Structure 1
Amino acid sequence: MDSFTSRYLPFTLLALVMFNMGFAQDKARPSDKKIEKLISKMSLEEKVHQLATQYPNANMRLGIPNLSANECLHGIKMDSATVFPQAIAMASTWDTELIERMGHTVAKESRAFGIHQCYTPMLAVVRDVRWGRTEESYGEDPYLVGKIGSSYIRGLQGMGAERFDENHIMATAKHFVADGEPMAGDNGAAHDISEYTLQNVHLYPFRMAIEEAEVGAIMPAHHLLNGIPCHANKHVMQTVLRDEWGWDGLVVSDNGDMRSLKRVFNYVPDYEHAAKKGLEAGIHQELALFQGWSDHRMFGDYLISAVNKKIVPVALVDDAVKHVLQAKFDLGLFDTDIKNDERFDVLKNPDNGEPDKVSQHDAEMFKKALYVGIPKKDWKKTVFDQSHNDLALEVAQKSIVLLKNEGDLLPLKKEKYKKISVVGPNGKAMRLGGYSPDNPKYYINIVEGIQNYLGSDREVAFEEGCDFTDSTANIPKAVALAESSDITIVAIGGSEETCRENEDRDDLSLPGPQQKLVEAIHATGKPYVVVLLNGRPLSIEWIAENSQAIVEGWYLGQETGKAIANILFGKVNPSGKLPITFPRNVGQVPLFYNKLETGRPRQIYNSDPEPLFPFGYGLSYTSFELGEPRLSNETIAANELTTVNIPITNTGTRSGETVVQLYVHDVLSERVRPQKELRNFKRVALKPGETKQISIKIGAQQLEYWNDGKWTIEPGQFDIMVGLDSKHLKKVALTVKN
């Protein structure tokens, strides 16, 4: 399949899907009888082929279409697609409406490429930033992760009449569950987690994705959870997901994890029993990237053998097939006359992509089946729509977090600086983060962005200075350039090699000699701004103490340089907020704002126990002042609502946006709760001198927590806290009566 894959599936996952959006089906649907009839006509082999991903799952004999899947973590992972900011940057916007619009655009491009489902979003609640997949996450808070993730899902899938129409796709929430708390930050590490923590932290955003966005599909996690592989964990996959939540969607395995039940964990005696365990846990399709029809697939010859040996009942296979077919019906794929579909031309002409080196069995399957995500004829019209680029820029600009601005160095005044230098390994390099196209539509680097902004009458010079290796040989060149410049932009951080899936770290300092580069630039005495492009929080304590201005950009997508320039020169006022805490050093990890209190006074020898930058933090070029919060009702019953009203004023001289954050503390509870938990937020735009009244409703979602098998709101006092970050808060008391 190599030639076929390389031509039409650049890292595409050929795939699974899922059906009804999220709740147990009490009523018969028009497709039910059709599905039952199709299953009755299938041979066992044909049934099993429905359970394959990254392999044909169509059936031309019975008129069953293929379903193609891919990654769309921050845009569809296809060459020429629009590349939006990485997930951690998306969360920094704290803008649910914007992320939903982004989802609509990504879905539209996906359909143009012939993709029907995406393995997105990742709803991990990150508790250890050493983990390489931090960049794929929406941060450390369950509520924020759930809100950003649900917004993206609503955009990808559509809601109401738009749901799963020709411009929308099926989302897949992953990884179920608790992969954001890996032991020592190691990807896929085994760990034990109490039911209390599972429900209140790690399951929380998935429940939100089902209730608020009706997510179509779910993917289990790689790791052992309480000694049981997630792909065979009936407690989370059946008891919680289906029995307690009533969700009845489609479940697709993660890559190779069905095989790992035997090969890695030795949880089963053989691969036939691996297939059985997966089906019993409720997995309907198996993802095995680029494996063809081989012994890498448990839902293949091993499953056929297991059925023939009476290890697996046919009813289990039929149930999985039912979910796959329902997904295809829900996505409208049966509405296409697949026999006459022009995309089948690829099977008739080897020059158009039919594999030339495949087994006889593979060749037969290709003749029986499929189309595999082949783009529509007019795909360029959709993908190269200028509005998509404009949206990518908007998301990038709102993602940027201003961490420090001593002496109001920023925004830079264009007329003040005749010569500007850019130094550092991220000045010209393309930094997109993981799960990005190999060949994006375009990428504007920082040097290009600044030069384009200033025009030809200003000189923008570049010297890398260092890379991520240990060599310091070129730092003197960068220093010489800085000394001859009016101001220097120091573009540093990380890369896809230092932070990605299976690229974890035991050190959070800047990779390579970047710290030495910054210190050398600082020693010149000339002004400079530090711009970070990275996938996880870094330990930059020296920089935070000594540098005048710091901008956190994460990975900003195709518009990186333009967004950075617009922020640096004040065309856009920064408004991003951190979705994750910045530690001072790796010794503080795991570090997150909503930890429970320690039993003794917290003190660390020769080190400040407070974070470098707190969750929710982010500065602006203007200033905002919050008034005192007031409750519409200071006493409510558990089933009632109240509203907190907060006046906010722009006390500066520039228009700007900020995020009003609401935190809750259950003062006296049966189980000790964190001192503060994010439970709502609102973005607000204000002109200079303008005051607005912000109203935020408080009800069950803000006050409840899971304890002793149920969600509960305990009577008593709650502290309702509001602020512009998690550290500086104003408080008002709410009483919930018995």
Structure 2
Amino acid sequence: MNTQSDRIIFTLKTVHKFLIGVILISLFCACTEHTTTTYEYTFQNPKISFEERATDLIHQMTLGEKVSQMRYDAPEIERLGVPAYNWWNECLHGVARAGEATVFPQGIGMGATWNPTLIHDMGVAVSDEARAKHHKFAKEGKRGIYQGLTFWTPNINIFRDPRWGRGQETYGEDPYLTSRIGVNYIKGLQGDDPKYLKLVATAKHFAVHSGPEKSRHQDNYQVSNRDLYETYLPAFEAAVKEAKVHSIMCAYNRFRDEACCGSNLLLQKILRDDWDFQGYVVSDCWAIADFWEPNRHGLTETAAEAGALAVTSGTDLNCGNVYDPNLKEAVLKELIDESKLDIALKRLFTARFKLGMFDAAEDVKWAQTPYDVVASDKHYQLSEKVARESMVLLKNEDQLLPLSKDITSIAVIGPNANSKQALLGNYHGTPHQFITPLKAIKDKLPNAQINYALGSDVAEGWPILEPIPTSVLKNGDKKGLKGAYFANRSWEGEPALVRNDTAVHFIWMPEKPVKDIQNDEFSVRWTGQIIPKETGSYRIGLKASSGGKIYFNEQLQFEFSDDHEPKTRYFDTELTKGVAYDIKIDYFNYHTDPQAHLVWAKKDQDLLSPAIEAAKKSDVVVLCLGLSPNIEGEEMPVLLEGFDKGDRSEITLPKTQIRLLKEIHALGKPTVLVLMNGSALAVNWADENIPAILEAWYPGEFGGKAIADVLFGDYNPAGRLPVTFYKSVENLPDFKSYDMGNRTYKYFKGDPLYAFGHGLSYTNFIYTNLEVSDVVEAQKEIALKVAVTNAGKVDGDEVVQVYITHINSTNDAPIRSLVGFKRIHLKANETKTVDFSITPKLYAQLDEAGNKIYLEGKMSISIGGRQPTADELNNSVATNLVSKVVTIK
């Protein structure tokens, strides 16, 4: 560029490039400004933290709006774009009370698997169904109870006493086993996404809570710090620290004079200060009303004071009606500062933001879950697997089991042989499958003669109710009852549908009977007559969800409106053959699991004789006995011999079943006893006289198939007891005593019927080559390994259990403690080496203050398929267990 013209051309090119750059930058900025989203409120911006969004949202609310969002059924705040939300949902062993869902084994059966990895997989499956159902509900504009993403599960209380009716919901009596099962279930439920929660799990009931049911609204429990920190808190601590559970439910009772939902010790010092819990606390339902209502805790005089006490102590959400509107009064009367409400609300709305409820569905991983996961084949297979792994073979004398499939005739007898409810337990969903033991055995032996008989009632005064058949129902000249269906919950106006129903035996799933309704609310009125074919005493009942009432000969017999899962209300009456009795049933539905069943039983029937005849003409007898979730469970009105308002006063089989058991045994037939129940049973006579006993719990919708697979050798059982089976209540302390002395395998000094950890197999396992250091340095991990060999001819699982005992301990240490376990599979003649690491936290002892201490001395370590006996603590030579004494220095 030596000429002036060259310089001019260069300058023009440079200016041209500059102008093009300016134009491009301007266009880019214009496009950027055009695509930038503007928000009316800061909380709507998904790019800021959940906590900031929650804080901004709360800042926009009035006092009344704040209070309304602290109740479980929080209403819409239309002006802020906050939709209504019901925090109440359940998934104890599958999504519950929300219509169709896969029903897995009850919690106690989950514990009996001793397989945390399997329970994690179960949690993933359950949360898949939960997400799918929630988004379907939301698309339909449904935001009611059992339709959200905050689940009041799991129950990780310690099953310290077999009399507790809700013990079936737990994972057993041991804090370590409970923590391993609980942590894995919570992780499966809450998901692994780094930003969004799949759902919120809730560990309950915090803390020191396990019955009695009938006095839970008044009781005040006192325990030592050692029992508190050794037994009642470890599973909760693990849920908070390891599983990062996002919610805790506080319990009904008082602990050390403070209501659990108003306890500074539990909710502030331990939960938030010591454990750094970052989630929210929800009250058990109507627990805060117990603060002030007559004959309860007597802690406050008014509802406003109760609400203020609960929020100040750390209970953020109220399942009940104390907070709204009483917290507004409490603020205005200066019983509580409004800033305390803001703290609680920040925790609550942070959870909703973490669930992705205020963000676009395409941005939330879990919102893409398809509905076809619900009750899918994959989940069915998993439910069946959990059921199989929960089966515990208690006894198998002379190898009666497995039974031959070449049997030509078999008697299947007992009140649980064909019971659907005995599959489900409590807090359950509605399955498409009901595979009872009777059905499964029929399927297993298509060419055999199956002789079925009920044999007995579940308990004296508690007959088995069956649907009233069409043959005794009349509606004018038609068989059945007239059904008038209304598109509202109050039988108002003209019915949307009138038809003749041949029987009232309905599970409306997934379609409701009234088409085109926009929510789940509808009602039905059935009218007609019952004309019995036999004279006698009858029990007539209505098993229904939501609510209903029955009129018999124009007289109201009962009504109810508070059932959250199908329960049976009933009345007793005398009926005469051929006489027509008017009946009217009013049923209404308000949530997503509508069911109505008109049921009855003739009370004075001879059930025993048909059972004896069935057994006489059979080669083998399978007796399906046990309990029922209809008589053991949460705070029930049931008062029968041996049962007390949901709990039990005796732990034996009911007398009706014992009589059946003895009559069948007297026939001399090969007999297998199958137990279906939610808590330990003192089956002492059966243990002495019946050659084979299988514990099946409440095993879920595929439970009967799992039972039949074990009975006929298609599955080798390997479940282990998560609780001790005692011989009598006389072996136990007072039910209301929460002191752990002489309770559970850790402290019980007597001789149990079946020990915690017990369970037999169709093969034999041998333990050899235990490797562990002779001397252990205090507060260091203890590494150990052992060889396990399947010495039999059948493949199978083994549950390898590790126990420690501090020898000559001077501070009332447990007799022994579980510190490790693994469920492994071994083929016939296969050997595997299994490794464990016992952390200092697990082998530490506790002083009176509950502090961990590491004392020098001797400690026995035992590894096997069961607990060690007292004689096996020093270098055991048993084939299925090895022990070694180490020195802690």
Measured against the shorter chain, the TM-score band is 0.7 to 0.9
Check if 1:59 corresponds to 2:92: no
Aligned to 2:526: none
Aligned to 1:4: none
Q: After the TM superposition, which residues 471-550 of structure 1 pair with which residues of structure 2 at under 5 Å, given as runs?
A: 473-502=606-635, 503-550=646-693
Q: Deviation at 1:185? A: 9.2
CA 395–438 in structure 1, closer or farther in 2 if over 3 Å, else same = closer
CA 395–337 in structure 1, closer or farther in 2 if over 3 Å, else same = closer
Q: After the TM superposition, which residues 575-590 of structure 1 pair with which residues of structure 2 at under 5 Å, given as runs?
A: 575-590=718-733
Flag the structure with larger Rg.
2
8 Å contact from structure 2 (residues 626, 653) kept in 1: yes
Check if 1:154 corresponds to 2:187: yes
- The amino acid of 1:555's aligned partner reads Y
CA distance in 2, matches of 1:106, 1:554: 20
8 Å contact from structure 2 (residues 206, 248) kept in 1: yes
Check if 1:306 corresponds to 2:330: yes
CA distance in 1, matches of 2:216, 2:769: 44
Query: Which of 111, 135, 159 pairs up with 1:126?
Result: 159
Check if 1:726 corresponds to 2:867: yes
Q: Deviation at 1:29? A: 7.4
Aligned to 1:247: 277
Check if 1:710 corresponds to 2:844: no
CA distance in 2, matches of 1:158, 1:424: 42
Q: Deviation at 1:670? A: 6.2
Check if 1:446 corresponds to 2:437: yes
Query: Which of 218, 235, 254 pairs up with 2:248?
Result: 218
CA 257–183 in structure 1, closer or farther in 2 if over 3 Å, else same = closer
Which digits, 9 at most, give the CA deviation of each residue in 1:636-660, with x for residues without a partner? 3334323111111111110011111
Q: Deviation at 1:709? A: 5.4
Which digits, 9 at most, give the CA deviation of each residue in 1:151-177, with x for residues without a partner? 11011012353x744xx2110000000
8 Å contact from structure 2 (residues 799, 822) kept in 1: yes
Check if 1:91 corresponds to 2:111: yes
Aligned to 1:74: 93
Q: Deviation at 1:448? A: 0.5
Q: Deviation at 1:230? A: 0.7
Q: With structure 2 as the length reference, what TM-score do the two structures score?
A: 0.70
Structure ranking higher in strand proportion:
2
Q: After the TM superposition, which residues 413-424 of structure 1 pair with which residues of structure 2 at under 5 Å, given as runs?
A: 413-415=404-406, 417-424=407-414
8 Å contact from structure 2 (residues 716, 796) kept in 1: yes
Q: Deviation at 1:710? A: 3.3
Check if 1:659 corresponds to 2:677: no
Check if 1:40 corresponds to 2:59: yes
CA 410–107 in structure 1, closer or farther in 2 if over 3 Å, else same = same
Which digits, 9 at most, give the CA deviation of each residue in 1:288-346, with x for residues without a partner? 2xxxxxxxx111011111111111100111101100011011111111489xxxxxxxx
Q: Deviation at 1:688? A: 1.3
Q: Deviation at 1:686? A: 1.0
Q: Deviation at 1:192? A: 1.2
Which digits, 9 at most, give the CA deviation of each residue in 1:268-303, with x for residues without a partner? 121111001101110110012xxxxxxxx1110111
Q: Deviation at 1:37? A: 1.6
Query: Which of 449, 454, 462 pairs up with 1:459?
Result: 449
CA distance in 1, matches of 2:289, 2:719: 42
Q: Deviation at 1:697? A: 0.8
- The amino acid of 1:528's aligned partner reads T
Structure ranking higher in helix proportion:
1
Aligned to 1:735: 887
Aligned to 1:690: 830
CA distance in 2, matches of 1:186, 1:587: 21
Matched residue SS, 1:70 = coil
Q: After the TM superposition, which residues 324-343 of structure 1 pair with which residues of structure 2 at under 5 Å, given as runs?
A: 324-336=348-360
8 Å contact from structure 2 (residues 91, 428) kept in 1: no
Which runs of 5 or more structure 1 residues have no equivalent in the other structure? 1-27, 289-296, 339-374, 603-608
8 Å contact from structure 1 (residues 79, 437) kept in 2: no
CA distance in 1, matches of 2:648, 2:449: 38
8 Å contact from structure 1 (residues 139, 145) kept in 2: yes
8 Å contact from structure 2 (residues 102, 429) kept in 1: no
8 Å contact from structure 1 (residues 138, 148) kept in 2: yes
CA distance in 1, matches of 2:450, 2:833: 44
CA 201–735 in structure 1, closer or farther in 2 if over 3 Å, else same = same
Q: Deviation at 1:61? A: 2.0
Q: Deviation at 1:672? A: 2.6
Check if 1:266 corresponds to 2:298: yes
Which runs of 5 or more structure 2 residues have no equivalent in the other structure? 1-46, 135-147, 461-603, 636-645, 734-741, 870-880
Aligned to 2:815: 675
8 Å contact from structure 2 (residues 94, 429) kept in 1: no
CA distance in 2, matches of 1:29, 1:672: 53
CA distance in 2, matches of 1:495, 1:544: 21
Q: After the TM superposition, which residues 584-603 of structure 1 pair with which residues of structure 2 at under 5 Å, given as runs?
A: 584-590=727-733, 592-596=743-747
8 Å contact from structure 1 (residues 531, 551) kept in 2: yes
Query: Which of 122, 138, 141 pairs up with 1:102?
Result: 122
CA distance in 2, matches of 1:29, 1:197: 44
Matched residue SS, 2:886 = strand
CA distance in 2, matches of 1:187, 1:491: 32
- The amino acid of 1:63's aligned partner reads G
8 Å contact from structure 1 (residues 129, 185) kept in 2: no
Check if 1:141 corresponds to 2:282: no
Q: CA RMSD in A?
A: 2.3
- The amino acid of 1:499's aligned partner reads E
8 Å contact from structure 1 (residues 720, 731) kept in 2: yes
Aligned to 1:637: 777
Matched residue SS, 1:421 = strand
CA 426–278 in structure 1, closer or farther in 2 if over 3 Å, else same = same
CA distance in 2, matches of 1:49, 1:183: 33
Give identity over the alignment, percent.
Answer: 34
CA 377–158 in structure 1, closer or farther in 2 if over 3 Å, else same = closer
Aligned to 1:572: 715
8 Å contact from structure 1 (residues 272, 305) kept in 2: yes
Which digits, 9 at most, give the CA deviation of each residue in 1:71-98, with x for residues without a partner? 1111110221100000000000000000
CA distance in 1, matches of 2:763, 2:118: 22
Q: Deviation at 1:434? A: 4.1
CA 722–186 in structure 1, closer or farther in 2 if over 3 Å, else same = farther
Q: Deviation at 1:684? A: 1.4
CA distance in 2, matches of 1:700, 1:652: 36
Q: Deviation at 1:665? A: 2.0
